[in-house]
Amino acid sequence: MAELKIISETGMFHSACRCRWDDHIEWYGFKPIAHRSPEGPGFVDRSDRTVSMNHFISFDVDGDVLRAAVLRVSATYAQATYCVLVKDCVSFSADVARAVGLRVPLVNISPAGFIAILAVWNSYTAMD
Protein backbone atom coordinates (compact mmCIF):
# COMPACT_ATOMS: atom_id res chain seq x y z
CA MET A 1 0.00 0.00 0.00
CA ALA A 2 1.16 3.52 -0.78
CA GLU A 3 0.00 6.98 0.27
CA LEU A 4 -1.14 9.88 -1.89
CA LYS A 5 -1.13 13.16 0.03
CA ILE A 6 -2.58 16.19 -1.74
CA ILE A 7 -1.55 19.51 -0.20
CA SER A 8 -2.32 23.18 -0.36
CA GLU A 9 0.37 25.74 0.42
CA THR A 10 0.57 28.92 2.42
CA GLY A 11 1.25 32.19 0.61
CA MET A 12 0.74 31.90 -3.13
CA PHE A 13 -2.07 29.37 -3.67
CA HIS A 14 -0.56 26.09 -4.80
CA SER A 15 -1.43 22.39 -4.84
CA ALA A 16 0.96 19.44 -5.10
CA CYS A 17 1.05 15.67 -4.55
CA ARG A 18 3.31 13.84 -2.14
CA CYS A 19 3.60 10.15 -2.99
CA ARG A 20 4.97 7.69 -0.44
CA TRP A 21 5.96 4.10 -1.11
CA ASP A 22 7.22 2.57 2.17
CA ASP A 23 9.96 5.04 3.23
CA HIS A 24 10.44 6.54 -0.24
CA ILE A 25 8.80 9.94 -0.88
CA GLU A 26 8.43 11.78 -4.19
CA TRP A 27 6.77 15.13 -4.87
CA TYR A 28 4.87 16.10 -8.02
CA GLY A 29 3.24 19.37 -8.99
CA PHE A 30 2.73 21.68 -11.94
CA LYS A 31 3.97 25.27 -12.13
CA PRO A 32 4.56 27.98 -14.69
CA ILE A 33 8.19 28.40 -15.76
CA ALA A 34 7.85 32.18 -15.18
CA HIS A 35 7.30 32.49 -11.41
CA ARG A 36 3.69 33.51 -10.52
CA SER A 37 2.72 33.86 -14.17
CA PRO A 38 -0.97 33.10 -14.83
CA GLU A 39 -0.22 31.63 -18.25
CA GLY A 40 2.72 30.30 -20.20
CA PRO A 41 5.01 27.31 -20.50
CA GLY A 42 4.76 24.99 -17.53
CA PHE A 43 6.85 22.26 -15.95
CA VAL A 44 6.40 19.35 -13.56
CA ASP A 45 7.90 20.48 -10.26
CA ARG A 46 9.52 17.74 -8.18
CA SER A 47 10.66 19.90 -5.25
CA ASP A 48 9.81 19.05 -1.65
CA ARG A 49 6.90 21.30 -0.61
CA THR A 50 6.85 20.27 3.07
CA VAL A 51 7.89 23.65 4.49
CA SER A 52 5.07 25.44 2.62
CA MET A 53 2.32 22.93 3.41
CA ASN A 54 -0.84 24.48 4.84
CA HIS A 55 -3.56 21.81 4.53
CA PHE A 56 -3.53 18.22 3.30
CA ILE A 57 -5.59 15.11 2.76
CA SER A 58 -4.13 11.59 2.55
CA PHE A 59 -5.36 8.42 0.87
CA ASP A 60 -4.08 4.85 0.99
CA VAL A 61 -3.80 3.59 -2.58
CA ASP A 62 -2.24 0.65 -4.38
CA GLY A 63 1.46 1.39 -4.95
CA ASP A 64 1.53 0.25 -8.57
CA VAL A 65 -1.59 2.27 -9.36
CA LEU A 66 -0.09 5.39 -7.76
CA ARG A 67 3.22 5.03 -9.58
CA ALA A 68 1.47 4.58 -12.95
CA ALA A 69 -0.84 7.53 -12.22
CA VAL A 70 1.90 10.05 -11.37
CA LEU A 71 4.07 8.94 -14.29
CA ARG A 72 1.19 9.18 -16.77
CA VAL A 73 -0.03 12.57 -15.49
CA SER A 74 3.52 13.93 -15.31
CA ALA A 75 4.15 12.89 -18.92
CA THR A 76 0.94 14.64 -19.99
CA TYR A 77 1.91 17.86 -18.20
CA ALA A 78 5.65 17.82 -18.99
CA GLN A 79 5.41 20.17 -21.98
CA ALA A 80 1.95 21.63 -21.25
CA THR A 81 1.01 25.29 -21.14
CA TYR A 82 0.19 26.47 -17.63
CA CYS A 83 -3.07 28.42 -17.46
CA VAL A 84 -4.73 29.38 -14.17
CA LEU A 85 -8.17 27.74 -13.75
CA VAL A 86 -7.68 25.67 -16.93
CA LYS A 87 -4.48 23.60 -16.64
CA ASP A 88 -2.75 24.49 -13.40
CA CYS A 89 -1.50 22.98 -10.14
CA VAL A 90 -5.00 22.00 -8.99
CA SER A 91 -5.86 20.32 -12.29
CA PHE A 92 -2.58 18.37 -12.01
CA SER A 93 -3.48 17.16 -8.50
CA ALA A 94 -7.03 16.41 -9.65
CA ASP A 95 -5.76 14.34 -12.58
CA VAL A 96 -3.53 12.29 -10.24
CA ALA A 97 -6.42 11.79 -7.82
CA ARG A 98 -8.74 10.78 -10.66
CA ALA A 99 -6.11 8.37 -12.04
CA VAL A 100 -5.94 6.49 -8.71
CA GLY A 101 -9.72 6.15 -8.63
CA LEU A 102 -10.82 8.99 -6.36
CA ARG A 103 -14.03 10.94 -6.99
CA VAL A 104 -12.98 14.37 -8.25
CA PRO A 105 -14.98 17.45 -9.33
CA LEU A 106 -14.95 18.37 -13.01
CA VAL A 107 -14.33 22.06 -12.34
CA ASN A 108 -11.08 23.56 -11.21
CA ILE A 109 -11.19 25.20 -7.77
CA SER A 110 -8.76 26.53 -5.14
CA PRO A 111 -6.24 24.12 -3.57
CA ALA A 112 -7.96 24.24 -0.15
CA GLY A 113 -11.39 23.94 -1.78
CA PHE A 114 -10.18 20.91 -3.71
CA ILE A 115 -9.08 19.23 -0.47
CA ALA A 116 -12.46 19.99 1.13
CA ILE A 117 -14.36 18.43 -1.79
CA LEU A 118 -12.11 15.35 -1.77
CA ALA A 119 -12.90 14.89 1.93
CA VAL A 120 -16.65 14.92 1.29
CA TRP A 121 -16.56 12.69 -1.81
CA ASN A 122 -13.97 10.07 -0.72
CA SER A 123 -12.76 8.04 2.25
CA TYR A 124 -9.42 9.34 3.49
CA THR A 125 -6.86 8.32 6.08
CA ALA A 126 -5.84 11.77 7.40
CA MET A 127 -6.72 15.42 6.87
CA ASP A 128 -5.56 18.76 8.24
Backbone angles phi, psi at 15, to 5 degrees: -125, 145
pLDDT tier for residue 108 given thresholds of 50, 70 and 90: confident
Q: What is the pLDDT of residue 21?
A: 96
Q: Provide the 8-state DSSP code for 84.
A: T
Is the pTM higher than 0.85? The answer reads yes
Question: Residue 85, SS3?
Answer: coil
Mean pLDDT of the chain: 95
